Amino acid sequence: MKNQRRSGILLHITSLPSRFGIGDLGPEAHRFADFLKQAEQKVWQILPLNPITIGDSPYFSPSAFAGNFLLISPEKMVEEGWLHPLDLELPHAFSDEKVDYGEVRKLKLGYLKKAFARVTLLNADYEKFCEENSYWLEDYSLFIALKESYEGAVWADWPQGARSREVEFLNERKVQLQEAIDFEKFVQYIFFEQWKSLKKYCNDQGIEIFGDLPIYVTHDSSDVWANPEIFKLDHDGNPLVVAGVPPDCFSETGQLWGNPVYNWEVLKNKSYDWWMRRLRFNLKFMDVMRIDHFRGFVAAWEVPAGDETAEKGCWQSVPGDDFFCEVLKNFPDASIVAEDLGVITDEVRELMDRCGFPGMKILVFAFDSDLETNPYLPHNHIENCVVYTGTHDCNTVKGWFCHDMSAQQEANLFEYLGKEISAEKIAEELVRQALMSPARLAILPMQDVLGLDESARFNFPGTKESNWQWRMPTDCLDSELSDHLALMVTEFGR
């Protein structure tokens, strides 16, 4: 991570304004980059860009490589010649406040299928894309085509030939499903062309993309189907144990994520080749990478498959030192941030120190305990860290202040600030505290920049309903806000 003091905004692509029901990689994303430049912000942090399945979460995906077609911009498709302007007539008006993923899925699939049906000859760039990405694209496109042909069944329930990837069986199915396979490749080509264009535009404005890499992948994914040996699965392809975390400040019963757990012994024997391919691919599309659940690279919380909560899991050691030696050997210049929230041991901190990875400091966690020693309080921050008012898993600062904060936390907050403060002012106050921090990078969730209440919360960990839906108001990116942010950036040397 760069040494100079900087600040940026956390806003996922889905939250951008758009008349198509979800934020995308089109004009509003470019407009947001313009706003960041005007506000003198140097970093745009986003969440994972992979396709979504369970609960619309970007952390549950059928691929660790593929892009989410819901983020493809229909307007950019018109610019690129894939669609006609008249194709963009909407069946109905979409909500400006929340994403309806089911309706958006039908709309975007319709656009993409219409564009694909008109294709007579794809260009050399497409052929080059397919060739360069064949190591994941072939498996992914076949996986999605097979899954659709089997009416959405989990791959472990497919016929034996498909489940165990028998060569003769799959070759026959490839012939039968060629059009569906080609469609998936076409969609991925469109996505990554649009993403490359947006990233270049941001970089040209002096803005870095701060991406997010989930540690785990989803069981019902092309990654697990194509590489079952690197996961702890039974003979039928089902997980023996699943991932999560024990009870902590986010959840009283822990978080049961349900992802299959890596077989690190097998990975180590293969020089972590799958991980190295994954990192190399993702580092092309982001300037800074947050590795989610860094604690899981020292020990993994493994819960018996079938348990309903994460309470009865146990820690299993992971060869984190060896793994990150390989990472740093392959990617010595990568800017990596460790997500080190939750129960963190000395082993985890020591691994982060050896690698030089900054961790995260969350201000809404800063008032739970002693004001002298709480590591999240600004006076205890070090330069090599990233400070946040809150994360995508937290309530907004205003929502936290009004509904989640205990009487002791309130007393600690007012004592630390040296004054009492109202709900209307609390978000701006913690934004200022973040910008004042010694941390080299300060990241401000857009909801806190706007001072929004709990209705703008993005995710409730441990739940599957009504998450990932919040959308930014369409008229909030004005010069008054950008000037105010720019003034604070100057004031605090960022």
Encoding tokens for residue 409?
């936390």
Q: How many angstroms separate the CA atoms of 125 and 30, rounded?
A: 23
Question: What amino acid positions are annotated as catalytic residues?
Answer: 292, 339, 393
Q: How many angstroms separate the CA atoms of 222 and 53, rounded?
A: 13
- In sign, the C-alpha dihedral spanning 104, 141, 212, 483 is negative
Q: How many angstroms separate the CA atoms of 13 and 10, rounded?
A: 10
* 3-class SS letters over the chain: CCCCCEEEEECCHHHCCCCCCCCCCCHHHHHHHHHHHHCCCCEEECCCCCCCCHHHCCCCCCCCCCCCHHHCCHHHHHHCCCCCHHHHCCCCCCCCCECCHHHHHHHHHHHHHHHHHHCCCCCHHHHHHHHHCHHHHHHHHHHHHHHHHCCCCCHHHCCHHHHCCCHHHHHHHHHHCHHHHHHHHHHHHHHHHHHHHHHHHHHHCCCEEEEEECCCCCCCCHHHHHCHHHECECCCCCECEEEEECCCCCCCCCEEEEEECECHHHHHHCCCHHHHHHHHHHHCCCCEEEECCHHHHCEEEEEECCCCCCCCCEEEECCHHHHHHHHHHHCCCCCEEECCCCCCCHHHHHHHHHHCCCEEEEHHHCCCCCCCCCCCCHHHCCCCEEEECCCCCCCCHHHHHHHHCCHHHHHHHHHHHCCCCCHHHHHHHHHHHHHHCCCCEEEEEHHHHCCCCHHHCCCCCCCCCCCCCECCCCCCCCHHHHHHHHHHHHHCCC
Long-range contacts (CB closer than 8 Å, 24 or more residues apart) made by 320-327: 320/351, 321/351, 321/354, 322/268, 323/264, 323/267, 323/268, 323/272, 323/275, 323/297, 324/297, 324/351, 324/354, 324/355, 326/271, 326/272, 326/276, 327/272, 327/275, 327/276, 327/279
